[in-house]
Structure 1
Amino acid sequence: MKIRKSTCTDVKDIMVLVHQAQNYFKENNIDQWQDGYPNSETILDDIHKQHSYVLINDDKIVGTMYFAIEDDPCYAVIQGQWLTSQQRYAIIHRIVVDETMKGQNLANQLLDYVTSQCFHNNIKSIRIDTHMDNQSMQRFLTKHDFIACGTITLASGAPRIGFEKILNK
C-alpha cells in the first residue's frame, strides 16, 4: 500500500468512501455528515490546497484524509484546553477508509503517515475532532494516544470533541 496526494481524477473514488461513511453514520444514528458535507467541491478544494491524500491498495483508493500543518480557525477557541499552545500543529480531517476493508489497519497507515510527516517537519502535536456520537472514531483516537481536550465549534455551529496527541521522538 502507498499514500500519495490526491488528484482531481480521484474525486469520484474519494466520494465513494465518503458516501460509505455517510451511510454508516446514518445507520448508527450519528448526525455527522448528514447534511451533504463533505461534497465533491470540498474534496476538490482540499486537492487544490495540496492537503488531500489517498491510500492506495492494488491501484484502488481504500482510504483518504485531509492532512495539513496549519492552524485550524475552529480550534482557536475550545471549551477545555489543548495539550499544547503557542506552537505549530498538524491537523487531520475527513479521514475515511473503505468499509469493505475495515479491520485491516488502514486508518493506522494514514495516521502513521501523518506522524512521519510531523517528525520530518518538527511538528510536536496533531489535532483532530469528531462528533460526540462517533464512538468508533473516539476509540480509534484514544487507542492511538490522542487525548480529548474539550469541545470545539465548527464553522457550521456544530460542536465536536477536539483531540490532541503530543508526538514523542
Structure 2
Amino acid sequence: MLFRKSEKKDVKSIMEIINEAKDYFKNNGIDQWQNGYPNEESILKDIEEGENYVLCDEEGKIIASCAISFRGEKNYLIIEKGSWKTNTPYAVIHRVAVRSSLKGKGLSGILVKEAEKMCRGKEIKSIRIDTHQDNKSMQRLILKNGFEYCGIIYVEDGSERLAYEKVL
C-alpha cells in the first residue's frame, strides 16, 4: 500500500469514499456528515493546504483518505468536562474515511500510524482527534490506537464531539 499526499485529480475518488461514509452514518442513525460537509470544496481546501492524504492499494486505487494538520484546531481551544493531555504543538487527524467494501481491514489504523510517523519526523509529541458520540466504530479505532478520552469540544455548527489525544 502507498500513503501519499492527495492531488486535485484525487478529489472524485476521495468524495466517493466520503459519500459512502455519509451513507453509512445515515443508515446507522449517526448524525455526522449529514449537513453537506465534508464536501468537494473542503477536500480541495485540504489538498491546497497540503493536508489531505490518501492510502492506495497495490493498483494505485484510492481506498482511504484523511486530513492531517499541524496548524492547530480552533475548535480545540475550549474543551469541557476534561482537559487535553499536553499543551505543546500537536497534529490533528480529521475526515477519516475508508471505502465501504474495505471496512474492518485495519486501513484507518494505517492512517493513524502514518500520522504518527509524520509527527515523529516533525518532533510533534501528540495527536488530537474528535468524533461524534454515536460514531462507535471511530471511537473503537481511536481507543485501539492508544488515544485517551479528554473531554467535549464543539464544532462550527455547535454540536458536541468527543475529543481524544495520544501522546507519542
TM-score normalised according to structure 1 size: 0.96
How much does 1:157 deviate? Answer: 1.0
Verify: 1:19 aligned to 2:4, yes or no: no
Aligned pairs (5 A) from 1:24-39: 24-39=24-39
Residue 148 of structure 1: aligned partner: 149
d(CA) in 2 for partners of 1:30 and 1:120? 35
How much does 1:72 deviate? Answer: 0.3
Aligned pairs (5 A) from 1:32-47: 32-47=32-47
In structure 1, runs of 5+ residues without a counterpart are: none
Look up the equivalent residue of 1:48 and give its one-letter code.
Answer: E
How much does 1:70 deviate? Answer: 1.7
Look up the equivalent residue of 1:84 and give its one-letter code.
Answer: T
Corresponding residue SS for 1:129: strand
How much does 1:109 deviate? Answer: 1.1
Verify: 1:66 aligned to 2:67, yes or no: yes
Residue 6 of structure 1: aligned partner: 6
Verify: 1:166 aligned to 2:160, yes or no: no
Residue 84 of structure 1: aligned partner: 86
- For this pair of structures, how many residues does the alignment match? 166
How much does 1:158 deviate? Answer: 1.3
**Where in structure 1 do 4 or more consecutive aligned residues deviate above 4 Å?**
none
d(CA) in 2 for partners of 1:111 and 1:97? 13
Look up the equivalent residue of 1:3 and give its one-letter code.
Answer: F
Look up the equivalent residue of 1:22 and give its one-letter code.
Answer: K
d(CA) in 2 for partners of 1:99 and 1:47? 22
- Per-residue CA deviations over 1:91-114 (Å, capped at 9, x if unaligned) read 000011111111221111111110
d(CA) in 2 for partners of 1:156 and 1:75? 14
CA RMSD of aligned residues (A): 0.7
